[in-house]
Amino acid sequence: MKAARQLTIAMLLLATIAALYTGYSLISDPTGSSLGIPFYWLNGTMFKDFTTPGWVILIAIGVLGMITTALVIKRIRHFHIAVIVQGSIICLLVIAQMIIIGEENMLQYLLLMLGMAIAIVGGLLSQADKK
């Protein structure tokens, strides 16, 4: 299961680094233009700018991703539960984004697949832990 743990670390790092960058960028430029995100995506939503979504991404995926990655690296007991939760959080946030914005793009589907892959590998690690 060493390969599965290494794959988990790689996927978590990818999601975490992307989320830290994206979250920070949305907080520092709430228009989203620095990331090429159209401001009209917020039309009809509860958000006046991208600050709140930026904080959600930064904390829920970025900070929690760092914590989860550290748990996996240090092999803290039951780290696989944190991996499953982190993958699920990514999936839920992407689905919420699709529903709130009302538009879909390829990046959202890629992130959804990444979140699912993280959760699935976490489940595999859980099964290996029981043996």
How many domains would you assign to the chain?
1
CA dihedral (98, 106, 61, 29) in degrees, to 10, reads -80
Give me the count of residues in the chain. Answer: 131
Supply the pLDDT for residue 92.
Answer: 98
pTM, to two decimals: 0.92
In the structure encoding, which two tokens stand for residue 71, read together? 């748990």
Determine the Cα–Cα distance for residues 15 and 122; give it in Å rounded to an integer.
15
- The pLDDT of 17-36, averaged and rounded, is 97
By residue range, what is the domain housing residue 19?
2-130
Round the average pLDDT of the chain to a whole number and report it.
Answer: 95
What confidence tens digit (pLDDT) does each residue in 46-59 have? 999 999 999 999 99
What confidence tens digit (pLDDT) does each residue in 59-84 have? 999 999 999 999 999 999 999 999 99
List Cα–Cα distances, 55 to 20, 27, 68, 74, 110, in angstroms.
10, 7, 18, 27, 21
Specify the range with the lowest mean pLDDT, choosing from 16-25, 38-47, 57-66, 82-91: 38-47
Place 126 in a pLDDT band, splitting at 50, 70 and 90. Answer: confident
* Distance, C-alpha 35 to centroid of its chain: 17
